[in-house]
Amino acid sequence: MIKVEGITKLYPEDKSKTKWKETNKIRGIKEVTFQVNKGEVFGFLGPNGAGKTTMIRHLMGFIKPDAGFAQIKGLDCWQNSLAVKAIVSYLPGEMNFLEQMSGLEFLNLMSGMHGDRPIYQKRRDVLSERLDLNLKQPIKKMSKGMKQKLGIIYALMLDSEVLILDEPTSGLDPLMQKVFVDLVLEEKCQGKTIFISSHMFPEVERTCDRVGIIRDGKLAAVEDIQKLRQAQHRTFEITVEDEGQVQLLREHGLAIVAVKGTGLSVEVQGDLNPLLSGLAQVNVKEFSQKTTELEEAFMHFYEGEGCF
Amino acid sequence: MLLNQTLFYAMLKQQGKKAINYATGLSFYNLLLIGVYPTISQSMVATELAMNLPNSVKRVFGVSSASELNRFESYVSTQCFGRVWLLVMGIYSISTADALITKLVDHGAMAYLLSSPVGRQEVFVTQVSVLVSGLTLLMGLTVLGIWGEMMLFNIPIDVWSYFRLGILGFALFSAVGAYSLFFSVLFDVEEYTILSASSLTFLCYALDVCSDLNDRFSWVKKLTIFGWVRPQEVLDGEVPTIPTLGLFGLSTIFIVLAGYIFSKKDIHV
């Protein structure tokens, strides 16, 4: 459904330099190639400034590539941008609307620009109820989270075949993040193709089938989320009653990476049962899981393969 | 490449309010000027003051000369269509052109408009129509306001001269709006658009003032769009066909160029 082949867009390294310069740390994206199949949810991950938004601008036909091409449903995103936009819904990363309008006026404007089909209104009402957003409120009085909800309603009300979502949960509280994940999974069930750009691993983990990671403008890897999840290293912070119990856990064969008094960090890859059986023998006072950063997860996955 | 009606009405709703506010302000200003005209025209002090100032100073600061104080058309052309009018209309044209393109790109809202299956040229034509409609509304309300105020104070005028001046003024600020729109599509940052359009407008205005200071520089007025507009001559009965067509021609060139650039450029939203 989405095909990106060798797409390159480089920007001048420094505004003071007039020549286009290519270095190891590029601005823009270089020779990015990947595909997203019909009905698939694809996560496009990377730290801020890695080139995620530049990639999306190509998919939306906002910028012309220096080399390569991007296609959606066989249509070139730059040359046939109008036809592409007729089948695509887009949620921009920056929530900057036409501030003087109310949420409802904005959605009516966008609905009109998309051909004003009756289904838009029906979906808009359902979505605004699920996301708990008062559409009559003026946009300039909305918080960041409310604006994000409005953007999500806009993107999902169009019932498009392809959804391109740039940092969709940014600014949403945990409850609304869960509602968003449910909405994405529902769209997926309807056969929609979804491209999500993000730097947050949990939201991608819960929604995506495959993920691509971009670093410094280059696509470092594209992997199946199941494979990543199985290989994912998880770190647990545990506090036990005394140092003897720390020794007991060590003898149990757990990968203890750090010990500080009665506190220890245990790293687990894949199966959790050895950890649980070890903990059953001691008196656990505190237990928490350390959040795995996105890059950390990928670095563990590709450790030894020389990808990073 | 027609305009998009939904976008047009939404934008006009926003920009129309601004045009009405500007027109209301101008009308109150004109009401004040026209209201004091009978007093000033009969005042010996005002006549004396006007006579004692050098011509160049009077031209630069828009002070009516003694003869101008005695004729209503001269008074109106220097006061109602003088410096304040140029300033207000200039600010309106530049800020509206900026708000219709650069501001939307700079703040990111253009991403929503361009994510719809409405072409870039259609979006651009719609924004141009909003600018033109706003200027029409502003000029219309200004001329209508002056006409109403003259009726109120029982001052007889040649309505068609004012109508012709309205069209010439509309053409002048269409040109200002058109090159502002050109800068608006050229730059992605508001500051650059406002700075470029204001600098060019100020340069044109300064050249016009210079051309008035000394007869040796009178040829300079042909180089500036403000030199093509002489309100008093129009109110005295001259039909400004060539300047009006020239200004509309210039507007068309800038709008076509801006439309071409907008349809081809990378838009980073």
Q: Which chain B residue has the Cα nearest residue A90? A: B115
Asked if B269 and A92 come within 8 Å (Cβ–Cβ), the reply is: yes
Q: Which fold has domain A233-291?
A: Alpha-Beta Plaits (3.30.70)
| The pLDDT of residue A18 | 47
Size of interface A-B (CB pairs under 8 A): 76
pLDDT digits over A119-132, tens only? 999 999 999 999 99
Q: Which residues contact B223 (CB under 8 A, 6 or more apart)?
A: B207
CB contact A11 to B (< 8 Å): no
Q: What is the spatial distance between Cα A51 and Cα A11, in angstroms, rounded to a whole number?
A: 11
What is the H or E stretch that residue A239 is in?
strand A233-240
pLDDT at B49 over 70: no
Superfamily of domain A2-225: P-loop containing nucleotide triphosphate hydrolases (3.40.50.300)
User: Averaged over B196-209, what is the pLDDT?
Assistant: 92
pLDDT at B256 over 60: yes
- What ipTM is given for this predicted complex? 0.82
| The pLDDT of residue A203 | 78
Q: What is the spatial distance between Cα B60 and Cα B144, in angstroms, rounded to a whole number?
A: 28
What is the rounded (10 degree) CA torsion for A276, A277, A278, A280? 90
Residues of chain B numbered 210-269 and touching chain A (CB < 8 Å): 266-269
Predicted confidence pLDDT, tens digits, chain A (308 residues): 899 999 999 887 655 544 444 445 567 899 999 999 999 999 998 888 888 999 999 999 999 999 999 999 999 999 999 999 999 999 998 888 887 899 999 999 999 999 989 999 999 999 999 999 999 999 999 999 999 999 999 999 999 999 999 999 888 898 999 999 999 999 999 999 999 998 777 778 888 999 998 888 899 888 888 777 766 677 889 999 888 888 888 888 888 888 888 899 988 877 788 889 989 989 999 998 876 655 566 666 555 444 44
Please give the model's pTM, rounded to 2 decimal places. 0.83
φ, ψ of residue B16 in degrees (nearest 5): -60, -35
Domain ranges in chain A? 2-225, 233-291
φ, ψ of residue A35 in degrees (nearest 5): -135, 150
**pLDDT confidence bin for B185, thresholds 50/70/90:** very high
pLDDT digits over B65-114, tens only? 555 556 676 777 777 777 788 888 999 999 999 999 999 999 999 999 99
CB contact A140 to B (< 8 Å): no
Q: Which member of A83, A85, A113 has the closest CB to residue B6? A: A113
Query: How far is residue B155 CA from its own chain's centroid?
Result: 25
Q: Which member of A85, A106, A112 has the closest CB to residue B115? A: A85
pLDDT digits over A206-250, tens only? 889 999 988 888 998 888 887 777 666 778 899 998 888 888 888
Q: What is the spatial distance between Cα A155 and Cα A89, in angstroms, rounded to a whole number?
A: 5
**Number of CB atoms found within 10 A of residue A277's CB:** 11
Q: What is the spatial distance between Cα A293 and Cα A298, in angstroms, rounded to a whole number?
A: 9
